[in-house]
Amino acid sequence: MSRFPFAAVEAPLASEDLRRLAVPFAGAVGHFFPGSAVVFQSLDADDGPQADDAAWHEAVGRVGERGRPTLSADGEILFLPVWNDDELIGVAVLHRGELPFREMSGSWLLEVSRILSREFRLVKQWSVDGVTGLPNGQQLRAGLAAELVRAGGDAAELGSLMLVEIHAKGRDGEQVLAQIVRAAGVLDGLVGGVAPLYACGAGVFGAIWTGIDTEKALRMGEALLRRLKRENFQKVHLGICRFAAPGSGAGVEANASLLLDQAWAALCAARRRGPHALCAHAALSRSQDHPFASPPDEVMTRLRRQWRGLDRFALLLLRPNSEGGAGESLGGCLASLLGPASAPVRAEGGDIFVALPGAGADEALAWVGSVQEGCRCLAGIALYPFDGCRKSATAVNAAKALCHATFLGENGKAVFDAVSLNISGDVYYNDGDLARSVREYRRGLRLAPESVNLLNSLGVVLVQMNRYRAAIPLFEKAAALDGADFMAPFNLGFAYLEQGRPAAAVVAFEKALAIDAAHPDLLFWLGRLYCRLGRYAEAVRLLERAMAGQEATAPLLGALAEAYQGEGRNREAIVLLERAARLNPRDAGVLSLLGELYHDEREGDEVALSLCRQAVELDDTAWQAWCRLGRVQYHLGDTAGAGESLRQCLLLDRENVTALYLLGCICRDGGRWRQARRLFERVLRLRPDHVKATSALAKLTGAAR
């Protein structure tokens, strides 16, 4: 790094601060306008909380045009300008509190807006992490408390808190800091559109997902893990906890601290589960009461008495699914059907075990059907003997079959089989217990070797554990078994990419594209891969389709800009990149490409070189950033610096034809013709249609003669 790596104390206010630092800013507003609810927005009223309100839109527009406070027609809403020095950056929208807005003079309100804007700037100084520029851990705690207060005690479940730990390592502290800054940029691009991202320090980040329950948070966490893995972060761990409204006052602060402790405990558990793993606190809290835990000793003792000496039996686990006295009615129904010789065994939570001596699957299903005629219940059925299981495992198998039955309606019944194992594997996977999920999926595949779902599920977990050699045959088999299955070729493509096989990845992705031509992740990754292989027209087609179907993100804008550059549409690419840089100022790929294009379009060589250098400081593991820096350095006459940058690129990507060609040009310009010839020949072996290398080699050959 050529600059001090910590953010300047006197950082200016920016429009994005109104979103990221809304909680402490609202606290400052409360000193002047007690009791007023406040929201912040940029001058673009289309992104505000009342964007469809014409009066709201008009008021925001008046503030933008005049730079003066504005009142709504009824005097209940105040639109107050927010400034960075003399630049208007946004609007604070206040709903009437304890003081009437109509009695306040316009000049006083304007002066207050200036005072508040200066206060916001001071607030930003102690609210922002010095390394990443994101709100710090103190603001994460404050944001949690504010969210709990906002919802009051009405909501049973407000959302989820996520902590992400990205393990940064390097030769020295400078490189570790660069990795943390890169991680912040990537995470902000992925999470920032859903919720503000907080930097707690040491590579730990936090996000508050409001309105999202644990199940959805787990799905989002899994998607986030996969994406960070594809961005080459070697160790990533997630801890997730659900939070509920405790009311207000001192209890809110205590609950915010408790939530942070719970998310941290889940994060610590995730560290023990592999290089890329997550854990939900709910899974920890139920570790002694897991749905697939062996029943208590007293229950097992009674079950053993019933199946002692039996060579064949069915064990049923029944769960009443209605309120009130449903459990008693189920017990009475069972007593009349079974008689005194085979009494039902009550388990925890109102579940009931029933052993049917000599019964197989058909008899057990028929017997459950007769029970369900009298009372509503779910039923899981496990058979003995089964796949070499001991009798004691039959009770756990019945619990897994009962979990399977919950997917089959209010009177669902299921016999323990490969599908049950797929579901139980998913439960362990969602708990973050990858080792157990692998065991469940493999047991399922023993029963159903051609189950596409099980093949995909096992492959995904093995990829998460970095076991690509074991995962690829599973995806290949799943794709061959079901030509209409999207996930198998989609997952296979990423596994090929991780193994450095881009051509095979293209084939897999194109097969997936034929099945689902609108999948946004597929369009993005295949478009990026086309760019890497020089197939720019195809990349443009896919990435424009991706842009049309989802909200633009910095990575998507950067990928489309790269495709435009490949087609010679540099001006269009610059517009996209400038937009991407506003969304995420720490995206190394965006900065390096923007610097290269600024140089090519004569927008300022110093700015271009500065952007390219900044990119490698942010991410020195990206070959693209080193290659672009080397290219700009070469064209600006710094051949020594260019040579070093291009060699760094080749350490990361040995077959990069641009770096090889430019190194050949440097050798040629320095009179090292033999080295230059070898480099140009190597380029042509990799890319026989490389026009510039062909011409350069021909000239060298002619000169030698």
Digit-coded pLDDT (tens) for 80-130: 999 998 899 999 999 877 778 888 888 999 999 999 999 998 888 888 888
* CA-wise closest residue to 355 among 314, 400, 300, 416: 314
First to last CA, the chain: 46
Looking at the domain assignment, is residue 164 inside a domain? yes
Q: Residue 61: its pLDDT value, please?
A: 83
Count, residues in the chain: 705
Cβ atoms of 616 and 639 closer than 8 Å = no
Q: Residue 149: its pLDDT value, please?
A: 77
Cα distance between residue 120 and residue 219, in whole Å? 36
Residue 243 pLDDT level (bands cut at 50, 70, 90):
confident
Cα distance between residue 553 and residue 556, in whole Å? 5
The stretch 390-399 carries a mean pLDDT of 94
Answer yes or no: do 400 and 314 share one domain.
yes
Task: Using DSSP bridges, classify how beta strands 236-243 and 87-95 pair: parallel, antiparallel or unpaired.
Answer: unpaired
Last residue of one domain, picked from the residues 61, 93, 127: 127
Is residue 1 over pLDDT 50?
Answer: no
Q: Residue 9: its pLDDT value, please?
A: 47
Q: Residue 45: its pLDDT value, please?
A: 47
Token pair 């492959």 in the structure block, residue: 459
* Contact partners, residue 551, CB within 8 Å, separation at least 6: 193
Token pair 């389709």 in the structure block, residue: 545
Is residue 8 over pLDDT 60?
Answer: no
Q: Residue 64: its pLDDT value, please?
A: 84
Q: Angle 691-704/657-669 helices, nearest 10 degrees?
A: 30
Q: Residue 568: its pLDDT value, please?
A: 93
Answer yes or no: do 148 and 272 share one domain.
yes
- Quick one: three-class SS letters along 497-551? HHCCCHHHHHHHHHHHHHHCCCCHHHHHHHHHHHHHCCCHHHHHHHHHHHHHHCC
Cα distance between residue 518 and residue 508, in whole Å? 16
The structural domain count of the chain equals 4
Q: Residue 484: its pLDDT value, please?
A: 92
Query: Regarding predicted confidence, which is higher, 157 or 530?
Result: 530
* CA-wise closest residue to 215 among 170, 173, 278: 278
Token pair 């013709």 in the structure block, residue: 673
List the strands of the sheet with 236-243, edge to edge: 197-201, 204-210, 159-166, 236-243, 276-280
Query: Per-residue DSSP letters for 300-366?
Result: HHHHHHHHTT-SSEEEEEEEE-SSTTHHHHHHHHHHHHH-TTS--EE-GGG-EEEEEET--HHHHHH
Chain mean pLDDT for the chain? 85
* Contact partners, residue 165, CB within 8 Å, separation at least 6: 203, 204, 205, 236, 237, 238, 239, 267, 271
Give 369-386 pLDDT, tens digit per residue. Answer: 888 887 888 999 999 999
Residue 621 pLDDT level (bands cut at 50, 70, 90):
confident
Last residue of one domain, picked from the residues 516, 536, 566: 516
Looking at the domain assignment, is residue 86 inside a domain? yes
How wide is the angle at C-alpha 415 spanned by C-alphas 429 and 443, nearest 5°?
45
The stretch 127-143 carries a mean pLDDT of 87
Answer yes or no: do 160 and 179 share one domain.
yes
Looking at the domain assignment, is residue 676 inside a domain? no
Looking at the domain assignment, is residue 97 inside a domain? yes
Cα distance between residue 497 and residue 370, in whole Å? 54
SS3 25: helix
CATH label of the domain that carries residue 103: 3.30.450
Answer yes or no: do 149 and 276 share one domain.
yes
Q: Residue 440: its pLDDT value, please?
A: 96
Q: Which two tokens stand for residue 563?
A: 């495709």
Give 161-182 pLDDT, tens digit per residue. Answer: 999 999 877 667 777 887 788 8
Last residue of one domain, picked from the residues 263, 285, 307: 285
Looking at the domain assignment, is residue 499 inside a domain? yes
State what percent of residues in the chain have pLDDT above 70: 90
DSSP 408: G
Domain membership of residue 500 as a residue range: 434-516
Residue 323 pLDDT level (bands cut at 50, 70, 90):
very low
DSSP lists the bridge partners of residue 90 as 82
Residue 466 pLDDT level (bands cut at 50, 70, 90):
confident
Answer yes or no: do 160 and 227 share one domain.
yes
The stretch 302-319 carries a mean pLDDT of 92
CATH label of the domain that carries residue 193: 3.30.70.270
Q: Which two tokens stand for residue 171?
A: 């030769």
**Residue 347 vs residues 94, 287, 378, 663: alpha-carbon distances, Å:** 56, 18, 14, 73
Whether the bond between 69 and the residue before it is cis, its omega within 30 degrees of 0, is no
Which stretch of DSSP H or E encloses residue 607? helix 605-618
Phi-psi region of 159 (alpha: psi -120 to 50; beta: other; left: phi over 0): left
Looking at the domain assignment, is residue 302 inside a domain? yes
Looking at the domain assignment, is residue 615 inside a domain? no
Give 491-525 pLDDT, tens digit per residue. Answer: 999 999 888 888 899 999 999 999 999 898 899 99
Answer yes or no: do 274 and 153 share one domain.
yes
Q: Residue 116: its pLDDT value, please?
A: 93
Token pair 């003399």 in the structure block, residue: 86
Cβ atoms of 271 and 264 closer than 8 Å = no
Which segment of 97-106, 359-368, 391-400 scores lowest on mean pLDDT? 97-106
The stretch 297-313 carries a mean pLDDT of 91
Answer yes or no: do 93 and 151 share one domain.
no
Answer yes or no: do 101 and 156 share one domain.
no
The stretch 4-19 carries a mean pLDDT of 71
Count of beta carbons in the 10 Å neighbourhood of residue 102 = 10
Give 333-362 pLDDT, tens digit per residue. Answer: 665 566 554 678 888 777 889 999 999 999
Answer yes or no: do 255 and 319 share one domain.
no
Torsion of the alpha carbons at 680, 654, 562 and 611, rounded to the nearest 10: -100
The stretch 54-61 carries a mean pLDDT of 80
Answer yes or no: do 382 and 330 share one domain.
yes
Q: Is the pTM of this model over 0.95?
A: no
